[in-house]
Amino acid sequence: MSTMRAETLDNGLLILLAEQRTVPVATFWVWYRVGSRNEMPGLTGISHWVEHMLFKGTPTHPKGMLTRHIDRLGGRWNAFTWKDYTAYHEVLPADHLGVAITLEADRMINTVMEPAEVESERTVIISEREGSENYPAYLLREEVDAAAHKVHPYRIPVIGWKDDLRAITRDDLSHHYQTYYHPNNAVAVAVGPFDAHAVMEAIKQAFAGIPPGSSPPRVRVREPQQEGERRVVLRRPGGATAYLHIAFHVPSASHQDLAALLVADGLLSGFKSFVPFDQGGGGRSSRLYRALVDSGLASDAGSALTPGADPTLFRVMVTARAGVDPAAVERRTLEEVERLAREAAGPLELEKVKKQAKAQDVFSRDGVFRTAMGLGAFTIVDGPEAFASLLTRIDGVTLDDVLRVADTYFTEKNRTVGWYLPEGGATTAGARAAVRPEVFFWSPLRAQLQVPPITPRTVARTELRNGMVVLVKETPGTGLVAVHGYVKAGAMYDGTRSGLARYVAAMLQRGTRRYSSQELAEHLDGLGASLVIRADMEVAGIGLRALAEDAAEALHLLGDVLIHPTFPSDEIEKARGELLTSVRIGMQETRLMAERAFRRLLFPESHPHRQVPDGDEAAIASLARQDLETFHRDRYRPEATLLAVVGDIRPA
| DSSP annotation string for 510-573 | SBBSS-BHHHHHHHHHHHT-EEEEEE-SS-EEEEEEEEGGGHHHHHHHHHHHHH-B---HHHHH
pLDDT band at 455 (very low <50, low <70, confident <90, very high): low
Other C-beta atoms within 10 Å of 400: how many?
10
- Range with lowest mean pLDDT among 107-111, 378-382, 492-496: 492-496
Topology classification of domain 230-430: Cytochrome Bc1 Complex; Chain A, domain 1 (3.30.830)
Tell me the range of 413-427, 472-486, 579-593, 622-636 where mean pLDDT is highest. 622-636
Question: What is the model's pLDDT at position 220?
Answer: 93
In this predicted structure, the answer to whether residue 570 has a pLDDT above a threshold of 70 is: yes
pLDDT of residue 186: 98
Mean pLDDT (the chain) is 91
pLDDT of residue 587: 75
State the pLDDT at residue 450: 39
- Percentage of the chain lying above the pLDDT 90 cut: 76
Q: To the nearest whole percent, how much of the chain has pLDDT over 70?
A: 93
Lowest mean pLDDT of 128-137, 253-262, 344-353, 451-460, name the range.
Answer: 451-460
Q: Is the pLDDT of residue 434 over 70?
A: no
pLDDT of residue 386: 96
Question: Residue 245 has what pLDDT?
Answer: 98
DSSP character for 167? H
> For residue 213, which phi and psi values (nearest 5 degrees)?
80, 165
Q: What pLDDT score was predicted for residue 614?
A: 87
The CATH fold of domain 460-647: Cytochrome Bc1 Complex; Chain A, domain 1 (3.30.830)
- Residue 430: pLDDT over 70: no
Q: Is-contact 489 635, C-beta < 8 A?
A: yes
pLDDT tens-digit profile of 291-347? 999 898 988 899 999 999 999 999 999 999 877 899 999 999 999 999 999 999 999
Are 632 and 504 in contact by the 8 Å Cβ rule? The answer is yes
Q: What is the pLDDT of residue 435?
A: 38
Model pLDDT, residue 427:
37
What kind of fold does domain 4-207 have according to CATH? Cytochrome Bc1 Complex; Chain A, domain 1 (3.30.830)
* Confidence class for position 168, pLDDT limits 50, 70, 90: very high
* Mean pLDDT of all residues in 195-200: 96
pLDDT of 493: 94
Range 386-409 average pLDDT: 97
Taking the CA atoms of the chain, what radius of gyration do you get in angstroms?
A: 25
> Which residues does residue 319 pair with via DSSP β-bridges, in sequence order?
243, 300
So what's the pLDDT on residue 650? 60
pLDDT digits (tens, 9 = 90+) for 47-104: 999 999 999 999 999 988 878 878 889 999 999 999 999 999 999 999 999 999 999 9
Distance CA 572, CA 514 (A): 18
Question: pLDDT (tens digit, 9 = 90+) per residue, 9-34?
Answer: 999 999 999 999 888 999 999 999 99
| CATH 3.30.830.10 domain position(s) in the chain | 4-207, 230-430, 460-647
pLDDT value for 85: 98
- pLDDT interval class at 451 (50, 70, 90): very low
